[in-house]
A and B are shown apart, each in its own frame.
Chain A
Amino acid sequence: MQHSELQEQIPLYALGGMPEDESARLAEHLAVCPGCRALLSEYQFVTDELLLQVPALTAPAAVGVNLSKLAQADAAGQVGSLRGNPTASPRPASSNHRGVPEIASRNSVSRPRFWNQPIALPRWAFALGLLAVLLLLGAAGVFAFQLQNRTSTPQQVLQLLTSPNIKYVELTSGMGTPGNNGYLCVSPNNTTGLLWLYSLPALDQQHVYQVWLLDDKGRINGGTFRPDTSGRAIAVIQAPRPLTDYNDIGITIEPVMGSQWPTTPRIVGGKLD
């Protein structure tokens, strides 16, 4: 690549978001080109200024209070775990981790508490079958390929599937189609769930399926996925709270990068409580 072409990319490099190979190529060039390094410094000054020009906001007093307590306790040798693990600290007192919009109404149709029923042989068979498929695909390298960038996910999935308390939430079509469209495997106090879906309508390239988890106070975005050509999908959900804390799961079709709230009717869903 010509020097001028590399030089042209320096602003993009300073901002980030370049593909790794392009970024690496430019880094190699920067190592040997003082002129480009000087130009990079100028653009890094611009990106630094982007940070500095973000409007400041008054932080809640709880942050300062908590920080002071933690530092004083640590300095006095009372909180040995602080060093090297800042995230293990107590959350500021005013945190609530909500801030999601309220849901105007919820489907109030009562259904049997599927996962509270004693686990029958067919469900064990289902679990064993699912586990066998996962392990088989794992042996074939497919599983590892998909999970290589996701910390602990294989262990979490195996832990879920081998849990004695595993429950299967039946997911049914929101369009009134008889029969179910799949299951969500969960276990109590586990933030990981395994979504197994089939017979999903095909999507064009501009749309994906998006998962929503609902509780009494609102909904959270569970993420997006795309099924295979036969309408099947298996996906791992990792929620901020145990999945059994939520009331419902719903799946809608949304634009390819997802939506802030559902913009189409529920395709598939089920009650978690």
Chain B
Amino acid sequence: MMTNRAATLRVLTRDADAKSVYNTAVQSDTVSPDATALSDEQLLQEVLARDADALQQLYQRHGNAVYGLAHYILREPAVAEELTQEIFLTVWNKAEQYHSEHARFRTWLLSITRHRAIDQLRQRRRRIAPAFSLDDASVAEEHAPVTEPIDSQRELHLLLRHLPAEQRTAIELCYFEGYTHEEIAARLQIPLGTLKSRILLGLKKLRVMMKDGI
């Protein structure tokens, strides 16, 4: 698979004018007046009409946010890079799935990113799967590995940093690592009820903070 991908990439590179493509693709703080005049929704309409420049404008606006979230969850730059590309190709192919009445475009984009990233994390955890056990008592057991210790190599979340560490950890493991409550309680070696209380307290505090406009 790796070989096929590399081969495909080389063919495209040879056929394209790499310099002009690069000039239109490199992210910049400067956005052309035409692009700033269009809303995300208008650009999506252009994407539906197969306008590659419109996709590029959306990427310029939101690419760093998507990459940041992918990196935050996956913690591997190369994998985050690949996922970022995949997310924008999803926009290219399935722009019609976005409905502005449900969420802002960036929220929709980041929500897709989170789900895909967590799917990848879960796949990693399932990389080894017991085919079967010879002991009925352990058949139902399945323990997933954790890729890295909590909070290591992770920049502190701008919002979660306002919470006590135990509440922040519980929310992080649930929302950004995709663990179930039972898994988190087992990992933290605390009762399930305690875990739920920490999440509830943390979320309630965040809700109040956001209402108060922190």
Contacts and interface: CB of A to CB of B under 8 A. Distances in A.
- Determine the interface band of chain B, counting residues with CB < 8 A from chain A: 35 or more
A182 to B, nearest CB: 13
A176 interface: no
Interface residues of A, number: 101
B110 A55 contact: no
A234 B143 contact: no
Contacts of B206: 46, 49-50
B78 A89 contact: no
A234 B130 contact: yes
A50 B148 contact: no
Contacts of B85: 63, 66-67, 89, 91-92
A258 B141 CA distance: 14
Interface of A is mostly: mixed
A8 B201 CA distance: 11
B142 to A, nearest CB: 9
A59 interface: yes
A95 interface: yes
Contacts of A50: 157, 159-160, 171, 175, 206
A86 B93 contact: yes
B184 A17 contact: yes
B204 A11 contact: yes
Contacts, number: 319
Interface in B107-155: 107, 110-111, 113-114, 124-135, 137-139, 141, 143-149, 152, 155
Residue from A17, A74, A210, A232 whose CB has the most chain B CB atoms within 10 Å: A17
B64 interface: yes
A153 B128 CA distance: 11
Nearest to A97: B78
B207 interface: yes
Given A17-B179, A65-B21, A71-B52, A54 B158 contact: yes
A71 B132 contact: no
B145 A221 contact: yes
B128 A49 contact: no
A210 B88 contact: no
B22 A61 contact: yes
Nearest to B209: A46
Interface of A: 8, 11-12, 14-19, 42-43, 45-75, 78-79, 82-84, 86-87, 89-99, 134, 137, 142-143, 145-147, 150, 153, 157, 194-195, 208, 210-211, 221-230, 232-241, 254, 256-260
Interface of B: 2, 5-6, 8-9, 12-13, 15-16, 18, 21-22, 24-27, 50-52, 55-56, 59-60, 63-69, 71-72, 76-79, 81-82, 84-86, 88-90, 92-93, 103, 106-107, 110-111, 113-114, 124-135, 137-139, 141, 143-149, 152, 155, 157-160, 171, 174-175, 178-184, 186-187, 196, 199-200, 203-204, 206-207, 210
